[in-house]
Amino acid sequence: MQHYSWTNNRQPVISAGPAGPLEEQGFIQDMVDVLAAPQHAKSDAAPRTLVLISLAHWVSHFHLLVLPMLFPFLKAQLGVGYVELGFALTVFAVVSGLTQAPMGYLADHIGARKVLLIGLAVGGFALIMLGVHLSYSWLIASAVLLGLANSVYHPADYAILSAHMDAARMGRAFSIHTFAGFLGGAVAPAIVAALVAVSGGLGALIVAGAVGPLVALVLIAGGVPDASAADRKVDGVHPPKQNIITPALIMLTVFFTLLSLSSAGIGNFGVVALMAGYGASFSSANIALTAFLGFSAVGVLAGGFLADRTRRHGQVAAACFAINAVIVFAIAALDLPSLLLTAAMALAGFLGGVIAPSRDMLVRDAAPPGAAGRAFGIVSTGFNLGGIVSPLLFGWIMDQGAPHWVFGASVVFMVLTVLLALVTERSPHGGSEAAEARVLQP
């Protein structure tokens, strides 16, 4: 029996045959391959499923930023301060964190499709009702509903993808799904700004909210499949029930928390830290952060290709974050010229994005049969824990007048992430080296 890092639940998928012409055309063709016609897909509808689920993930990240983008409007209309507005985001993070695991349970038991469609509708309803009844109490209620809606996406999306995508291209499928989420966040500021210019703040809330139910209808019309009981059968029978709270998933939850903490400081406080501690101008600091975020999305796509070429996902994460720690340490310790700073931030973002598909493959491999929704729901709480802690931690660092430690603390979390990956990495036994060679052959 072969053992792999983090989990023993699945054996590697090995393709012993020679690579076809599509593989020889490189990374771009492989990406197209996933969307177009995977040779061994579980379903003929796999490409359509990937597009629909990725569209839902786009909505989730878009809705995440609607309220923050409207803070100036909300502050003026509600007569509250940024502390009160920030409290709404804290409520969102707490609700989302507490409901991730329960939503994973629902996705596995009543069907991931139902849970996903309800989440899209509830998230849209939250913004629409705030636009119709604008008040601070409705802002908090909207944050609660948005947190509840946000908690469905990872458990439901990954359960459906795990059930219906070709296993040999699962890493690339996960990478496209993650990239769609990154894209939703990237375009949210421009879309919200355009909506405010055209229809005002209230109109922007209503139109942005309407995107949720509209995309739910698109998923229904497109025939998005379910991760149903039939999908969880092995050789025609249901797998025996297993304890979902396994050591592997506990470690992965810690892993996700550290990943969140290692990037949240740079993403949320990078601009002010660069301006306060490095003498960077507002424009150069924003260009550096844009490079970090933009190349993160590119790295996600590259990471999907890598995740399908190896089973050593823990080692991929450790290697990328070890290099990242060195780069971010250089940013923290050195006064880099503007051009070199931007290049360093871009490379750090790229490497951070590369590990995302491997991260998701670790969870998929660690999930007991029929429990992908619960597994992703549990480990995704790590992101929410990081989202709750990081604003307080990095805000405190800035209040102490130590902007260099925004990057320094990120380095500490990166090193802890590397150590966690290495400690839990198991060396394959027996003939797995030969299997690994067959997976890696061109």
Quote the pLDDT of residue 361: 78
Quote the pLDDT of residue 432: 35
> Mean pLDDT, the chain, as a whole number?
78
Which position has the higher pLDDT, 194 or 214?
Answer: 214
Token code pair at residue 167 = 């296993």
Count of alpha carbons within 13 angstroms of residue 323, beta-carbon side: 16
Quote the pLDDT of residue 244: 67
Q: Containing H/E element for 234?
A: none
Quote the pLDDT of residue 63: 94
Map 56-95 to HEC letters.
HHHHHHHHHHHHHHCHHHHHHHHCCCHHHHHHHHHHHHHH
Least confident of 34-38, 104-108, 146-150, 361-365: 34-38
Quote the pLDDT of residue 440: 37
Over residues 322-358, the pLDDT tens digits come to 998 999 999 988 888 888 989 999 999 899 888 887 7
Which position has the higher pLDDT, 112 or 422?
Answer: 112
Which position has the higher pLDDT, 397 or 148?
Answer: 148
Over residues 141-193, the pLDDT tens digits come to 999 999 999 999 888 888 888 888 887 788 788 888 888 988 888 788 788 88
Q: Containing H/E element for 19?
A: none
**Closest C-alpha to 312, from 169, 437, 160, 167:** 437
Which phi and psi angles does 236 have, rounded to 5°?
A: 85, 0
Quote the pLDDT of residue 426: 52
Give mean pLDDT, residues 81-97: 83
Question: In this structure, which amino acid lies at residue 40?
Answer: H
Distance of CA 199 to the CA centre of its chain: 31
Least confident of 67-81, 225-239, 428-442: 428-442
Is the model's pLDDT at 392 over the cut of 60? yes
Quote the pLDDT of residue 126: 96
Tokens 């249901």 belong to residue: 238
Quote the pLDDT of residue 255: 86
Quote the pLDDT of residue 54: 93
Does residue 113 contact residue 216 with C-beta atoms inside 8 Å?
no
Distance CA 28, CA 236 (A): 37
Which phi and psi angles does 237 have, rounded to 5°?
A: -130, 155
Task: List 7's β-bridge partners, or say none.
Answer: 4
Does residue 10 contact residue 370 with C-beta atoms inside 8 Å?
no
Please give the CATH topology (third level) of the domain spanning 43-229: Growth Hormone; Chain: A; (1.20.1250)
> CA triplet 88, 91, 93: central angle to 5 degrees?
110
Which phi and psi angles does 80 have, rounded to 5°?
A: -120, 170
Class assignment of domain 247-431?
mainly alpha
Nearby residues of 437 by Cβ (< 8 Å), 6 or more positions away: none
Over residues 259-298, the pLDDT tens digits come to 888 888 887 778 778 888 888 887 788 788 878 878 888 8
Quote the pLDDT of residue 57: 94
**Which segments of the chain belong to CATH 1.20.1250.20?**
43-229, 247-431
Predicted confidence band at 35 (pLDDT cuts at 50, 70, 90)? very low
The model's pTM? 0.69
Quote the pLDDT of residue 321: 83
Quote the pLDDT of residue 370: 66
Which phi and psi angles does 403 have, rounded to 5°?
A: -60, -30
Distance CA 247, CA 120 (A): 32
Predicted confidence band at 34 (pLDDT cuts at 50, 70, 90)? very low
Which phi and psi angles does 426 have, rounded to 5°?
A: -105, 140
Predicted confidence band at 55 (pLDDT cuts at 50, 70, 90)? very high
* Backbone region of residue 235 per phi and psi (left: phi > 0; alpha: psi in -120 to 50; beta: other values): left
Nearby residues of 152 by Cβ (< 8 Å), 6 or more positions away: 103, 107, 115, 116, 118, 119
